[in-house]
Structure 1
Amino acid sequence: MKVIGVDIGGTKVRMGVLDQDMKIYLDQKVPTTFPLYDLLEKEILKILEKHPDVEAIGIGTHGFVDSKEGKIVYATDLLPGWTGTEVKKHLEQATNKRVEIDNDANVAALAEAKIGAAKEYDRTLCLTLGTGLGGGVIMDDFLLSGGPNGGAAELGHMTLYPNGVECGCGRKGCFEQYVSGTALHRRIKEAGLSYKPEELFTANDPKAKQVIREFTYDLAIIISSLQATFDMEVVVIGGGVSEAADYWLDDLNEQLKPLLLNDLDIKIAQFGNEAGMYGAAHLVL
């Protein structure tokens, strides 16, 4: 069975034709232009002309997604005009193929659970530490997603510190304001340091080490709280911050150990930029 996996980002859209063994028959990137739906339909129809044996289309995208209806509930200005788009309805009419769409963090989690770092586990939680904090939850082969507001598993917007740092969502103290790349920039600045985040982890500086300690403590609190909610077997950590995990993972495990209800494995994501395309394909495989 061949399917199309689509990963929609703010600057580019990646599209691949893959089969159930993740063999890639086509892998292409096009710049993200607007109206976004028009671009999506045009490019997919071109792919279907060359690959008529494709049976379904999976899509991962930024934003809140009603996965049942296949509709974009809300997307930020990163994707102008995307909010409200009934992607599934329109694209199924245009292609006569089955279409499924979900949030990009969810599809990345699906890739890690199916073929990546968590493929040996049944209950997986993925945290993507990038500009914000994305989350994905797979429980016994079921992807927790959607909801009428597209807000299921939006882990980055759970509250860590009431009345804490203001978040882009309008509330205060959200997880992503403490354990994302953006959060690291703020922590560094507040500590009076001039490092870039990638320099912080290798700096032989007591203040830098304290910033790392506070960051890993907050991440440990978050993981332990999520364990009480989901009782997952493994946490997979991805995103740009995970690229420096060799420098902070031991510190995280040390601070996490006394906080856990039960033993829990911590893994670093196997896939980087490929996760979106692979996970989108798995939505329909």
Structure 2
Amino acid sequence: MTHVLGIDIGGTKIRMGVVSTDGHVHADWTISTEIPLYPYLERHVKDALEKHPTIVAIGIGTRGMVEPGTGKIVFEMQLEGWEGTPVKQWLEAATGLPVEVNNDANVAALAEAVLGAGQGYKNVVAVTVGTGLGGGLVFDGEIIDGKHGGGGEIGHLILYPKGLPCGCGRQGCSEQYVSGSALHRLIKEHDVRSAEGEVVSPRDLFPLAAQGDVKAQAVRHRFVEDLGITISTLQAILDMDVVVVGGGVIDSSDAWWDEFIKTTEPLLLKPLTITRAQFGNEAGMLGAAMLVRNVAADSEKGRNV
């Protein structure tokens, strides 16, 4: 049986997995992220290939914006020296194997579309609510990258014109209102406190709202309404089959999901399936592997001829 190597590159750690085309993980490990990143990555990839000779292709999901086709990192501010790295070109030369590279949010969306909550749907939009707001578009099983690799930048839809400044340099982006960072700000603005008088965390906000705290409920309503508006805007453009909502905030979704659905439905142009993501931290590695699933499938067919 052939396998692929899926790699999820984050700011502090890199997750690697040996995966079959059906998504079964045969080996899975995590290493710290070190700078300079490329030679460190190449060393660990070669080590993985020695230990797992059935690997026939390599898929990588990474922070930053990736140039479609070339696999070159064209924008990344936090991983020093990573921007400008032609990852696909260098790693293919070093290993002799096919390599595909894409943005981490895109590959997480691909995991949900191919293996997870979006499986069986033709047009899938994934919305990832974590520290920031990310997402990905997977239509007919393929990631929609856009011309510059910026397809699916859901967090940078303008939600409130001339609103809060965003790290992208514009104002009013949805990420400033629908994210873990936004919840921190809203909690402070509404002075949401626990029974002990402490300012609550986003993790504690939703249970507090469920208990009837008026200030917590106000923040919850603002959050779910802004998320609903963002999704309705996406529907007006894309008319997708399903929206898969994931990210760290989904861990507390039992406390806000019903209100979110109730608030969102009147905003939609047409009925829309909205569901929770199936994968958590594993999505990036699995989605990276799925970038090269066809290579592995073709290799398997060739061996069986």
TM range (shorter): over 0.9
Alignment partners' CA distance in 2, 1:38 and 1:146: 29
Residue number in structure 2 paired with 1:93: 93
TM-score (norm 1): 0.97
Q: Tell me the CA shift for residue 244 of structure 1.
A: 0.9
Give yes or no for the alignment of 1:235 onto 2:240. Answer: no
Matches within 5 A, 1:184-203: 184-193=183-192, 194-203=199-208
**Which whole-Å CA distance do the structure 2 matches of 1:257 and 1:59 have between them?**
36
Residue aligned with 1:202, SS: helix
Matches of residues 90-169 of structure 1 in structure 2 within 5 Å?
90-145=90-145, 147-148=147-148, 150-169=149-168
Distance apart, 1:254 and its partner CA: 1.0
Per-residue CA shift, 1:211-254, capped at 9, x if unaligned? 10111111111110000111111111111111111111111111
Aligned to 1:70, what secondary structure does the other structure show?
A: coil
In 2, Cα distance between equivalents of 1:30 and 1:3: 18
- Rounded to whole Å, the distance in 2 between the matches of 1:113 and 1:81 is 32
Q: Secondary structure at the match of 2:256?
A: helix
Residue identity matched to 2:36: P
Cα distance in 2 for partners of 1:49, 1:185 equals 45
- Contact 2:128 / 2:135 at 8 angstroms: preserved in 1? yes
| Aligned 8 A contact 2:137 2:151 in 1 | no
Map residues 256-267 of structure 1 onto 2, 5 A cutoff: 256-267=264-275
CA contact (8 A) 2:14 2:32 kept: yes
Root mean square deviation of aligned Cα: 1.0
Shift of 1:146: 5.0
8 Å contact 1:66–1:146 — kept in the other structure?
Answer: no
Cα deviation digits, residues 138-177 of structure 1 (max 9, x gap): 11222111533x2121111110001111111111100100
2:27 counterpart residue number = 26
Report the Cα distance in structure 2 between the residues aligned to 1:184 and 1:47, rounded to whole angstroms: 40
Mind listing any 5+ residue stretches in structure 1 that lack a counterpart? none
For 1:267, what is the secondary structure of its paired residue? strand
In the other structure, the counterpart of 1:40 is: 41
Question: Which has the higher Rg, Structure 1 or Structure 2?
Answer: 2
Question: Secondary structure of the residue that 2:265 maps to in structure 1?
Answer: helix
Report the 3-state secondary structure (helix = DSSP H, G, I; strand = E; otherwise coil) of the residue aligned with 1:201: helix
| Whole-angstrom distance in 2 between the partners of 1:104 and 1:256 | 27
2:74 is paired with a residue of what secondary structure?
A: strand
In the TM superposition, what whole-angstrom CA distance separates every residue of 1:68-116 from its partner, at most 9, and x where no partner exists? 1100011122x11110000000000000000000000000000000110
Give, in whole Å, the separation in 2 of the partners of 1:161 and 1:272: 29
Distance 1:106 1:27 in 2: 20
SS where residue 93 of structure 1 aligns? helix
Residue identity (%): 53
Q: 1:221 aligns with which of 216, 229, 239?
A: 229
Determine the C-alpha separation between the residues in 2 that align with 1:143 and 1:233: 15
Shift of the 220–254 alpha-carbon distance from structure 1 to 2, 3 Å rule, reads: same
1:253: which partner in 2?
261
TM-score w.r.t. length of structure 2? 0.91
- When the two structures are aligned, how many residues end up with a matched partner? 283
Give me the whole-angstrom Cα distance separating, in 1, the residues matched to 2:111 and 2:142.
13
> 1:211 and 1:25 mapped to 2: Cα distance?
43
